[in-house]
């Protein structure tokens, strides 16, 4: 499970450590609090093993159960989905359609 958090950390660093906006962070935490996979004593996810208070702050992070997506704010201030392009490269896709 530590591998999941390590991979998530490298993705976060590679994207320039973008923070999640407060309102989005609050939504993620609310979703985690209601999820049966959360271990409330440690606030870790039993699916991925990640500390969710930290993971939810990372805009590049995703929920292992797809309850909240990986999003970034583009230079225009619009939310965009990140999708995997050819050879594992990430591409910005403002329409949300598959690249």
Q: What is the pLDDT of residues 9-63, one digit of tens each?
A: 877 787 788 888 899 999 999 999 999 999 999 999 999 899 999 999 988 888 9
C-beta of residue 39 within 8 angstroms of C-beta of residue 48 = no
- For position 16, what pLDDT does the model report? 80
Alpha-carbon gap, residue 19 to 69, rounded angstroms: 14
* pLDDT tops 50 at residue 88: no
**Which of 38-42, 75-79, 87-91 shows the highest mean pLDDT?**
38-42
- For position 99, what pLDDT does the model report? 44
* pLDDT tops 70 at residue 3: no
Write b or e for each residue in 19-44: b if 16 or more Cβ atoms lie within 10 A of its Cβ, otherwise e: ebeeebbeebbebbeeeeebeeeebb
The side-by-side arrangement of strands in the sheet containing 90-93 is 71-73, 79-84, 90-93
Residues 6+ apart with CB under 8 A from 84: 90, 91, 99
Alpha helices in the chain (DSSP H): 2-14, 22-34, 52-55
């Amino acid at each position: 499970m530590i591998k999941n958090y390590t991979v998530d950390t490298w993705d976060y660093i590679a994207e320039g450590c973008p923070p999640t906006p407060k309102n989005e962070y609050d939504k993620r935490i609310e979703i985690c609090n209601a999820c049966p996979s959360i271990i409330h004593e440690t606030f870790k996810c039993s699916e991925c093993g990640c500390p969710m208070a930290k993971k939810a702050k990372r805009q590049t992070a995703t929920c292992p159960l797809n309850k909240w997506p990986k999003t970034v704010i583009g230079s225009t201030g619009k939310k965009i989905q990140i999708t995997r392009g050819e050879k594992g490269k990430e591409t910005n896709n403002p329409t949300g359609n598959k690249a």
